[in-house]
Amino acid sequence: MGSSIIRRSITRSLNHPSLLSASSWCLSHRQHALASNPLSSFLHTQPSSGAGLPSYMRGAVYWEPNKPLTIEEFHIPRPKAGELLIKTKACGVCHSDLHVLKGELPFSSPCVLGHEITGEVVQHGPLSDHRVTERLPLGSRVVGSFIMPCGNCSHCSKGHDDLCEDFFAYNRAKGTLYDGETRLFLRGSGKPVYMYSMGGLAEYCVVPANALCVLPEALPYSESAILGCAVFTAYGAMAHAAEVRPGDSVAVIGTGGVGSSCLQIARAFGASYIIAVDIQDKKLQKAKSFGATHTINSTKEDPIQKIIEITGGKGVDVAVEALGKPQTFSQCTQSVKDGGKAVMIGLAQAGSVGEMDINRLVRRKIQIIGSYGGRARQDLPKLMRLAETGIFNLEHAVSRRYTFEEAAKAFQDLNQGNIVGRAVIDIN
């Protein structure tokens, strides 16, 4: 679609009377160049570089619910205009992928999961804008965000990358990129395989340029992978949905990878009370190192009453639900003060419903806000600076690392609650 738009634009320009003579000279000059070098026409439409790339790669494939991932061979994916081929270095282990693996979130299959990555730029798609190739030259170290904004829809044009129409219409609804096609094909059969975001659990992946940010040399590939989802989601919740201000009181219900990142971001934003709620003491102990001033084990005491007690009978300015369960949804809404914000970031099993006392919602001006993630083009550079300066501690956030061959085990451990914080899979 992008190339057809370019061709139509060129045609309109060439038909403009003021440009006819100049156009004739350019076309004549181009025809002479083509005659002297027939390959130039072919090369003009080819991806930049890519020299030395292998013909095949490995990727971890999800086939059907409650079946383990399998490592399969693929043809090397080819980026199109505005896209880049990334040699994947690391990919985070996220509950969103686990929801798909368990059949709780419907998604096209077979597919390659993995949506928070770091890697190296090894190829630009053909006809990519010079601003893309200049910002992300070959060899660049990059982070990729799971929300991949098209940059052109009504939401993206307003800077609301987190609501990108094409991302939801194509990637989340169909498992493709924005021309309606996947970039993944099995080596043996040529069968297409869908992509959850960029399909980062593979040795190479194709990512739209708008979802990529340069990774500073000072930051490691492995730990930095979580910047693309866990930290990105937490930042979106704290900065855009909750709009946390210095002195605000914040409660975070669920202190896994995203929840623990919320604690760090709340601390960075100057929150006063930072209350961590979970059912595992080991996670709550770790939460203190992320900035929690108070911890609550909800299996031992009522989290709503305890939060109200800690805040002098008022409730918190902001409560964040990071689990996606009806029970914690209710706890979140009941923990905020009058006029407070209950921010929901945890994905749930399809069809799950949260309940709220309507009269309290209306009379006490409670705000319930959904937040899926940050805004890639404006937020990723900020996250790089937070991590590079140590304000966000990546080393503390990542608790376990797995090899690519251990991808299935990583999600098994996540499902069993054996991962405190975030885990990362090292790929290349």
CA distances from 421 to 102, 187, 269, 287, 417 (A): 21, 36, 20, 9, 10
CA distances from 195 to 114, 203, 258, 340, 424 (A): 9, 14, 22, 38, 19
The pLDDT of residue 13: 37
Beta bridge partners of 92: 424
Q: Residue 374 contacts by C-beta under 8 Å, 6 or more apart in sequence?
A: 145, 147, 161, 162, 232, 233, 235, 236, 239, 240, 380, 383
Angle at 66 between CA 64 and CA 183, to 5 degrees: 35
SS3 87: strand
Query: Rounded to 5 degrees, what are φ and ψ at 68?
Result: -70, 155
SS3 150: coil
Query: Rounded to 5 degrees, what are φ and ψ at 86?
Result: -115, 130
CA end-to-end distance (rounded Å), the chain: 33
Beta bridge partners of 88: 119
pLDDT tens digit at each of 428 positions of the chain: 444 333 333 333 333 333 333 333 333 333 333 333 333 333 334 556 666 899 999 999 999 999 999 999 999 999 999 999 999 999 999 999 999 999 999 999 999 999 999 999 999 999 999 999 999 999 999 999 999 999 999 999 999 999 999 999 999 999 999 999 999 999 999 999 999 999 999 999 999 999 999 999 999 999 999 999 999 999 999 999 999 999 999 999 999 999 999 999 999 999 999 999 999 999 999 999 999 999 999 999 999 999 999 999 999 999 999 999 999 999 999 999 999 999 999 999 999 999 999 999 999 999 999 999 999 999 999 999 999 999 999 999 999 999 999 999 999 999 999 999 899 999 98
Single-letter code of the amino acid located at 151: G
The pLDDT of residue 48: 64
The pLDDT of residue 10: 33
SS3 383: helix
CA nearest 242: which of 318, 311, 307?
Answer: 318
CA nearest 209: which of 151, 169, 152?
Answer: 151
**For residue 106, is the peptide bond before it cis, meaning its omega torsion is within 30 degrees of 0?**
no
Q: What is the pTM of this model?
A: 0.87
CA nearest 81: which of 159, 4, 172, 14?
Answer: 4
CA distances from 107 to 99, 134, 339 (A): 10, 35, 37
The greatest distance separating any two alpha carbons of the chain, rounded to the nearest whole angstrom, comes to 82
Cβ atoms of 251 and 316 closer than 8 Å: yes
Beta bridge partners of 60: 71
What count of other Cβ atoms lies within 10 Å of the Cβ of residue 290?
24
